[in-house]
Amino acid sequence: MKVLLLGGTTEAAVLARLLAADPRFDATLSLAGRTKSPAASPLPTLVGGFGGAKGLLAYLLENKVDALVDATHPYAAQMTMHAVEAATDCDTALLALRRPAWEQQPGDRWQQVADAESAVEALGTDPKRVFLSMGRLEIHSFARAPQHDYLIRSVDHPGDLPMPYVSVITAKGPFDPAAEAALLKQHRIEVLVSKNSGGSATYGKIQAARDLGVPVIMLARPTLPWADSVTGPEAAMAWLAAHHEALAQRGV
Ligand code: NAP
């Protein structure tokens, strides 16, 4: 059974390994190409996108893909939209692997905001020491608030930044809560800006902020279109196995 896996997440990497080890599946991984050196995958890998929903549809038809698994990041709303659109226009079955969001716990001091622009507003006018741990793509929004002192962490260096007070750390998770607490203390962080990524790999900073009483400005998740969905790689394998079985019964 031919599978196209839209990846870029820890769960997609795990699912790629499970698919590679299962002879029922002939799977290909697709990455946006956001990181310079992505972890090696056992699956053949495409990098750089399809050229919109129409390009993805053309790929699915041309390669006779039986199942499309959208295991992209919860904030990769455009890719998810394209996956739903393309799968609706052909016979390819679609499964979304959607990581549950983090829930606020007692002691958390979260302020939920709609997007990066609102996060900038929420920081206020007084200069603060801010930890921006939210990926490279939205950092430039914070140029509007140059009075703050920013600590930025991303997988690859974000390049030249327009803010005058900025330190950059390049690192890839998982991040341990104790090390995250040490980092917040070392940089005397007064507020953390984060996406609600869910999962355990980047939860350390949220736990550390709770333990230290540091407020968190949490960017809301984008609204995603409905799709048949599971929350983890094992459940995705079970769904794919059931689809494989159904195709075999129909003699496809
Ligand atoms: P996006 O805005 O949903 O997608 C933009 C375009 O990137 C898509 O239209 C598609 O290009 C391409 N693309 C995205 N994921 C792809 C995949 N798995 N395979 C092939 N092409 C893919 O997603 P984004 O720009 O990557 O990121 C949006 C948000 O998600 C950001 O907040 C980012 O920090 C977060 N995020 C993304 C990743 C990741 O690996 N992508 C990881 C962590 C966090 P075409 O239209 O040309 O097909």
- pLDDT at residue 84, as a whole number: 98
Pocket of ligand 1 (CB under 6 A): 6-8, 30-32, 34, 49-52, 55-56, 72-73, 75-79, 82, 135, 137
Residues counted in the chain: 252
Query: What distance in Å separates the CA atoms of residue 174 and residue 98, rounded to the nearest whole number?
Result: 19
205 and 102 Cβ atoms separated by less than 8 Å: no
What pTM was computed for the model? 0.94
- Centroid of ligand 1 to alpha carbon of 155 (angstroms): 15
Query: Residues with Cβ < 8 Å from 17, sequence gap 6 or more?
Result: 42
- Centroid of ligand 1 to alpha carbon of 78 (angstroms): 7
- pLDDT at residue 134, as a whole number: 85
Atom number in ligand 1 closest to CA 72: 18
Is omega for the bond preceding 174 within 30 degrees of 0, making it cis?
yes
Atom number in ligand 1 closest to CA 35: 40
Residues of the chain with pLDDT under 70: none
Using alpha carbons only, give the angle 243, 83, 23 rounded to the nearest 5 degrees: 35
- pLDDT at residue 137, as a whole number: 81
**Backbone region of residue 207 per phi and psi (left: phi > 0; alpha: psi in -120 to 50; beta: other values):** alpha
- Buried/exposed 144-172: b ≥16 CB within 10 Å, e otherwise: ebeebbbbbbbbeebeebebeebeeeeee
- pLDDT at residue 252, as a whole number: 78
Atom number in ligand 1 closest to CA 82: 9
- pLDDT at residue 151, as a whole number: 98
Atom number in ligand 1 closest to CA 55: 48
Query: What distance in Å separates the CA atoms of residue 115 and residue 26, rounded to the nearest whole number?
Result: 38
- Centroid of ligand 1 to alpha carbon of 45 (angstroms): 15
- Centroid of ligand 1 to alpha carbon of 79 (angstroms): 6
